[in-house]
Every structure is written in structure tokens, then in C-alpha cells.
Amino acid sequence: MPKYLEEFNPPIRLLLGPGPSNVNPRVLQAMSAPLLGHLDPDFLDIMDDVRDMLRIVFKTKNEITIPISGTGSAGMEAAIVNVIEPGDTMVVGINGYFGDRIAQIGERSGATVARVNAEWGLPLDPDKLNEELKKHKRVKAVAMVHAETSTGIRSPAKEITAIAHAHDALVIIDTVTSLGGIEVAMDDWDADVSYSGTQKCLGCPPGLSPVTFGPRAESVISNRKTPVQSWYLDTSLLKNYWSQNRAYHHTAPISMIYGLREGLRVVLEEGLDNRFSRHEYNAAALRKGIEAMGMEMFAQEDSRLPTLNTIRIPEGIDDAKVRRSLLTEHNIEIGGGLGPVAGKIWRIGLMGENSNKEAVVSVLSALEVVLNEQGAEMTPGTGASAAEAFYAS
């Protein structure tokens, strides 16, 4: 029998990389519910629930708050192509891999992009963004990554929003690694556009990208001179399906929407504040363990994310070998570095379901075993005991 006719039973892994993360069983169960048509009144009710819950999670009243069919990059693209027209100027804060992706999409959308770089491992500098904005007569949008997954850094979204508005520019905020894990407060920040992903702190599989567009962004979109270059991601068409018009646009990914509804229910049953505290608490335990093992965190201390933790790889340790052993011997996935920090850092995600004591203790114990196999000479149990002591205190 050819291999492709054999049943596929994926191994059960602890997914502590930069996402996807493990999913609550309730979400998987919801995804296996019988299909409904995308215009079935019962499905339309589910869509309304998803919109209502996304508004709570984004902390917004924005009318256009919907899941885009596609991963976080589709949301990124939707945010940019709806707002930007060829010839516009965009200022992008870049302190990691995903800021650069925003700039690339901006350029592909016909914008002149001014990149304001910060060192990887540091937050964006609002003053530098302000200086850049002063150099241009008219900037359409400032874009930034709230939680940079490539470095484990949080940047000041509210401050940067105020700077963008002082220059009459919209702000676009990537909340892929923050939504549901640390506070995102669209209306309090007065932010205009944001997009996220389902596979990180929302505890769902990859495949949908929640987005939200505020009134200023809506007004910019309705005053466009050119049609949005992407038909699929055009919010003025999408909102006809997601609003009471219920006009067919594309066939909604029904099972994914079921999953997101359940994932959001899980988030709101826990409560956003409890969820944020849980993420902070478990990341603090992980850091205790890492430091007890003699290793250092990479991201600047006052801006570290609890959702994505970056660790400097000790001298003489083979990055790829460590990650391979963790995966194949211990069934634990962690991430490596990207771009300039490839081979220099590890990325441990503690997101959504995976922000828990068992995950923290398991990854510390396994990491210690694997590092000792490479001659690191750590006293077995040091990291896990430090984390346990933190939990017991």
C-alpha cells in the first residue's frame, strides 16, 4: 500500500515555539461539528457571536471587527491594502522580522515606505518615529508590531498611536502575539487598525486572522480614489457579508469559525485580566528556571513579552541539535532565531493553553537533559526546581 493511503496519526507534541500553540480540546471538538451553509441562519448567529466576542477581546466598539479567512499575514495584508493607495507614504517601525514584513507589503501596495529601525531585542522608539514623521508632508499610516515574535519584545502601542495621530496619520498595529495574552485595548489606545492570528494566545489552530478597523480608518477607506487592490481582502465587500446585509462574498471557512467561537468562549470564561496574569506568572516561572540554569534572556527586561520568551543560546551549544533532540526525544517544539539572531536565540512560546506550570517545568527539564548531552554540565533539576520554587512561593 502506498504511504499516502496509510492513516496519518500525528505525534502529540508540546508546541512551545512561536506558534501554533496547542489547542483547547473544546476547540477541536467544535471544529468537528456538522457543517452548516455559509448563509444558514444558524451560522449567521454564530458569526454574530464571533464578532461580539472579538470586540470584547480587542476592547473595541469598532463596527468592522471580523475574522479574515487566512493566517496572520492575510490580516496584515488586509490592514495595509485597505488603507494604502499607490503613492501614499507609510512609516513602519521595525524591530524584528514581522515589522519588515509589514514594510514589504506596504511597498507591494505602492506606498513609499520609511523604515524606522530599532535594534532587535529592543522596543520601538516613539521619539525616532516622531522624528521620521516630521520629515514628511503627509503620512497615510504608521505601522508597528505590538508584540514582536522574532525577539520577544513589546512596543508602546498607545504612545506610538498618539504620535501618529499628532501627524494626522492612521496607526496599524500587529497584535498577532498579543491578542488574548497581554492587554490589547483598541479604543483606549485610540488605535485605528489591528490584526491578529488565531494560533497563538487565542488557543485555536492557524487559519483565521481577526481584524478590526476603527472609524478613522473606515473614513479613509470610503474616501479612496482607487479600489482596494485585493478583491478577497476588501473590507467594504467583506463587511456586507458580516453585517446584516449577509451578501455572499466568499464561502466562509465554517469549521474554523466554529473553532474560533469556542476559542473565544474559553478566553472570555477565564476573563481577560485573569488570562493576562496567567501569562505573566508562567513566563516569570520560566525566566527563573532559565536564569537558575545560568542562561540569559535576550529581550530587554522592561519590555519582555510573557507570551514569547527569548533566550540567548550558551556558547558552544549547537542550536539545531538542541531543538531536534527536544522535538524527537521529548516531543517538545521550541523556536530558533530568525534573521540576524538565527543561531543566537531560542524562542519559547507560552501562549494560550500552553501558558501553564506543566509546560514550563517540562521544557526546563527537557532542555537541561539535552544541554547536558551536549556537555553543558548543568546540575540535573536546577531549572525545574527554580520554577517549582517560584510556583510554591
Least CB distance from residue 267 to ligand PLP, whole Å? 18
The C-alpha atoms of residue 86 and residue 352 are separated, in whole angstroms, by 38
98 makes contact with ligand PLP (CB under 6 A): yes
* 337 binds ligand PLP per the rule CB under 6 A: no
All cell numbers assigned to 391: 510556583
Binding to ligand PLP by CB under 6 A, coded x per residue (else -) over 132-171, reads -------------x---x----------------------
How many CB atoms within 10 Å of residue 316?
8
Q: Which of 88, 174, 368, 388 binds ligand PLP (CB under 6 A)?
A: 174
The rounded Cα 380 to chain-centroid distance in angstroms is 34
Helix (H) or strand (E) run with residue 172 in it: strand 170-174
User: CB 311 → ligand PLP: shortest distance, Å?
Assistant: 17
Instruction: Among 13, 43, 187, 206, indicate the residue that binds ligand PLP (CB under 6 A).
Output: 206
Applying CB under 6 A, which part among 68-76, 259-267, 277-285, 368-376 lies near ligand PLP?
68-76
Residue 69 sits in the site that holds ligand PLP (CB under 6 A): no
Q: Is 260 helix (H, G, I), strand (E, B) or coil?
A: helix
Q: Indicate the residue type of 386.
A: A
Task: Name the amino acid, one letter, at 252.
Answer: A
Kindly state the smallest distance separating residue 101's Cβ from ligand PLP, in Å: 7
19 binds ligand PLP (CB under 6 A): yes
Give the CA distances from residue 348 to residues 7, 14, 47, 205, 279, in Å, rounded to whole numbers and listed in that order.
31, 11, 33, 18, 13
Q: How far is the CB of 174 from ligand PLP (least distance, A)?
A: 5
Buried b (16+ CB within 10 A) or exposed e, 123-146: bbbbeebbebbeeeeebbbbbbbb
- Does 181 engage in binding with ligand PLP (CB under 6 A)? no
In the set 67, 93, 123, 197, which binds ligand PLP (CB under 6 A)?
Answer: 197
Which range of residues in 3-11, 152-160, 172-180, 341-349 is near ligand PLP by CB under 6 A? 172-180
The C-alpha atoms of residue 22 and residue 206 are separated, in whole angstroms, by 11
* Helical (H) or strand (E) element with 25: helix 25-31
CB 174 within 8 A of CB 194: yes
Which residues of this chain interact with ligand PLP, rule CB under 6 A? 18-19, 71-73, 76, 98, 145, 149, 174, 176-177, 197, 206
